[in-house]
Amino acid sequence: MSPCADFLRPLVLSGPSGVGKSTLLQRLLFEYPDKFGFGVSHTTREPRPGEVHGKQYYFVNRQKFQELIDEGAFIEHAEYSGNHYGTSFKTVQEVRQEGKRCILDIDAQGIRQIKRTSLNPVYLFISPPSFLILRDRLQERATESDMSLQKRLRAALNELKFAAEPNVHDIIIVNDDFEQAYLKFKNVALGERIVGDTLPPLADQLIS
């Protein structure tokens, strides 16, 4: 059976921190270990304990990262907390050559850059039911300082504002019920066309 047409296109996954992207991805990769490949990014930050070069990230110094920028190697790149991160065309090609679909976890800034390239991915946004529910989820983690939490919330608000702009994403999935959200996510990842959800109006998300 030949794959669906959209399966051959990279899948750009986005959504604010705490919305459940990692959990959805982990379940998908566990259920279909041979169908998908995760785009490994380059970064200038130091490896954390247990991280392996070429698995979690390609760890490079600033000079090498700048050389890759100059060569036009990156689909998108950005700086966070003093470290640089970038997704290369090469890593997407490597996944495709293995006969797998490449999944990229990209934020709003990166999506703006990707839209100026010839990558032609499917853009999928995972939305919380509301901003306040997302805030509660992040607070329940109890793993961050107040300053770090506020930073994540500001970034989340920016992601939601960007997602509300016309024609940014091809499909939106609201992660209200995880099982239902995963079924939709799995179908999209497998290249099927689905009827996505409607993004909750931002004003409603802030006051609900």
| Residue numbers annotated as active site | 48, 141, 152
Q: Which residues fall within 8 angstroms of residue 130, CB to CB, at 6 or more apart? A: 200, 204, 205, 206, 208
Question: Cβ(107)–Cβ(159) under 8 Å?
Answer: yes
CA-CA distances (angstroms) from residue 23 to 7, 30, 65, 90, 149? 21, 11, 30, 26, 20
Q: Which two tokens stand for residue 162?
A: 């960007």
Cα–Cα distance, 163 to 149 (Å, whole number): 21
- In contact, 180 and 151? CB cutoff 8 Å: no
